[in-house]
């Protein structure tokens, strides 16, 4: 669609030049009229769009996708206001200015967000696939699963993936003391900064389980958002939070770093199932952090 629009704009510019300045004599020295550089720039942009689409189409074929994934729209200049989903609040949530807990980002863009938890499986084919297809995603990592292969996650980070907080040891936080929860969350913040150079603003509690102490500890550790999920995708099926089993604009989709020992398939199989479904329904995959 974007390529077609660019071509139409180019045609309009060419037509306009022919109508308004068809008899214009070039300036001395053989220089082009002043309106030529913008036309050349647009032509170059259209060429880049065509090349990007061709590369993505070739990658889709190479990875056995049914359709070429749709390109995400530009990130919104004005970020949506994130509120805690109704029923997901804790006591004093708003008055204490605790991080919002949400499953969907409010947006009219027809995008969904892929988020991947823990870090157990280090599938090299998955990294190649996501790089080839240029599909964004967000990682939520647990320290004890990352430490045996930090190079894998550095490669991921070098491609623009944000490495977010999923605690040091992946406990069920709900019911633990404030101090114990803070050790898990702040400890992972320090680990991510030491190993990967940055403390993230996003945190996902293991199992999606939390209480007021969790959010208080997260806030104290520098966390601004607590995204959960509205769907979960596996290598062989989907699961839904909503009874109507539908995708919605801004939905957050959860999956995990898993392989054949725990799934009926590979991470590449999971990505294939995910992309085939969202593309067939007209959704692109956005980068969650771009909307926050």
Which CATH number is 89's domain given?
A: 3.20.20.370
Let me know whether 55 and 137 are in one domain: no
Has residue 154 got a pLDDT over 50? yes
Let me know whether 7 and 133 are in one domain: no
Q: Is residue 25 part of a domain?
A: no
pLDDT band at 48 (very low <50, low <70, confident <90, very high): confident
Q: Which residues contact 272 (CB under 8 A, 6 or more apart)?
A: 63, 64, 65
How does DSSP classify residue 95? T
Tell me the mean pLDDT in the region 286-290: 97
pLDDT of residue 219: 98
List the Cα angle 203/206/209 in 5-degree steps: 95
Let me know whether 48 and 123 are in one domain: no
Q: Is residue 29 part of a domain?
A: no
Let me know whether 5 and 144 are in one domain: no
Q: Is residue 164 part of a domain?
A: yes
pLDDT band at 50 (very low <50, low <70, confident <90, very high): confident
Contact 138, 202 (CB under 8 A): yes
pLDDT digits (tens, 9 = 90+) for 169-198: 999 999 999 999 999 999 999 999 999 999
pLDDT band at 55 (very low <50, low <70, confident <90, very high): confident
How does DSSP classify residue 1? -
pLDDT of residue 12: 44
Instruction: Look over the chain and give the mean of its residue pLDDT values, rounded to a whole number.
Output: 89
Let me know whether 80 and 58 are in one domain: no
Q: Is residue 177 part of a domain?
A: yes
Task: Look at phi and psi of residue 149 and say left if phi exceeds 0, alpha if psi is from -120 to 50, else beta.
Answer: beta
pLDDT digits (tens, 9 = 90+) for 11-22: 444 444 444 444
pLDDT of residue 37: 59
pLDDT of residue 36: 52
Contact 82, 106 (CB under 8 A): yes
- Give me the percent of the chain exceeding a pLDDT of 70: 87
Range of the domain at 57: 1-16+37-62
pLDDT of residue 171: 98
Tell me the mean pLDDT in the region 238-266: 96
Let me know whether 135 and 4 are in one domain: no
Tell me the mean pLDDT in the region 70-89: 95
The set of long-range contacts for 203-208, using a CB threshold of 8 Å and a minimum separation of 24, is 203/99, 203/140, 203/164, 203/165, 203/166, 204/115, 204/117, 204/140, 204/164, 204/165, 204/166, 204/228, 205/167, 205/173, 205/174, 206/142, 206/166, 206/167, 206/170, 206/171, 206/172, 206/173, 207/172
Has residue 30 got a pLDDT over 60? no
Q: What is the distance between the alpha carbons of residues 65 and 133, in angstroms, rounded to a whole number?
A: 10
pLDDT of residue 213: 98
pLDDT of residue 29: 43
Let me know whether 259 and 120 are in one domain: yes
SS3 labels along 130-164? HHHHCCCCEEEECHHHHCCCHHHHHHHHHCCCCEE
pLDDT digits (tens, 9 = 90+) for 206-240: 999 999 999 999 999 999 999 999 999 999 999 99
pLDDT of residue 288: 98
Q: How many other β-carbons are positioned within 10 Å of the β-carbon of residue 278?
A: 25
Q: Is residue 158 part of a domain?
A: yes
Let me know whether 10 and 93 are in one domain: no
Q: What is the distance between the alpha carbons of residues 232 and 225, in angstroms, rounded to a whole number?
A: 19
Has residue 292 got a pLDDT over 90? yes
Let me know whether 170 and 251 are in one domain: yes
Q: How many other β-carbons are positioned within 10 Å of the β-carbon of residue 50?
A: 14
How many domains, the chain? 2
Let me know whether 268 and 130 are in one domain: yes
pLDDT of residue 27: 44
Q: What is residue 41's three-state secondary structure? A: helix
Q: Is residue 30 part of a domain?
A: no
Let me know whether 171 and 53 are in one domain: no
pLDDT of residue 191: 98
Q: Is residue 69 part of a domain?
A: no
Q: Is residue 119 part of a domain?
A: yes
Let me know whether 151 and 261 are in one domain: yes
pLDDT of residue 4: 52
pLDDT digits (tens, 9 = 90+) for 103-143: 999 999 999 999 999 999 999 999 999 999 999 999 999 99
What's the pTM? 0.84
Contact 119, 139 (CB under 8 A): yes
């Amino acid at each position: 669609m974007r390529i077609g629009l660019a071509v139409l704009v180019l045609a309009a510019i060419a037509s306009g030049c022919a109508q308004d300045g068809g008899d214009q004599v070039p300036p001395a020295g053989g220089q082009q009229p002043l309106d030529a550089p913008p036309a050349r720039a647009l032509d170059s942009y259209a060429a880049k769009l065509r090349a990007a689409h061709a590369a993505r189409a070739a990658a889709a074929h190479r990875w056995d996708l049914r359709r070429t994934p749709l390109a995400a729209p530009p990130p919104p200049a004005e970020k949506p206001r994130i509120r805690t989903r109704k029923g997901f609040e804790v006591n004093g949530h708003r008055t204490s200015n605790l991080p919002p807990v949400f499953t969907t980002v409010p947006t009219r863009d027809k995008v969904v967000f892929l988020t991947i938890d823990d870090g157990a499986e280090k599938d090299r084919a998955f990294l190649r696939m996501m790089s080839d297809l240029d599909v964004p995603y967000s990682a939520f990592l647990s320290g004890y699963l990352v430490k045996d292969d930090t190079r894998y996650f550095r490669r991921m980070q070098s491609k623009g993936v944000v490495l977010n907080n999923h605690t040091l040891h992946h406990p069920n936080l709900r019911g633990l003391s404030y101090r114990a929860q803070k050790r898990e969350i702040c400890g992972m913040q320090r680990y991510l900064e030491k190993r990967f150079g940055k403390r993230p603003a996003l945190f996902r509690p293991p199992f999606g389980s939390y209480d007021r102490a969790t959010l208080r500890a997260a806030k104290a550790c520098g966390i601004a958002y607590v995204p959960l999920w509205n769907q979960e995708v596996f290598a062989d099926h989907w699961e839904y939070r909503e009874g109507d089993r539908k995708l919605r604009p801004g939905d957050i989709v959860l999956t995990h770093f898993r392989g054949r020992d725990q799934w009926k398939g590979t991470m590449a199989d999971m990505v294939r199932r995910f992309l085939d479904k969202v593309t067939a329904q007209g959704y692109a995959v956005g980068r969650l952090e771009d909307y926050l």
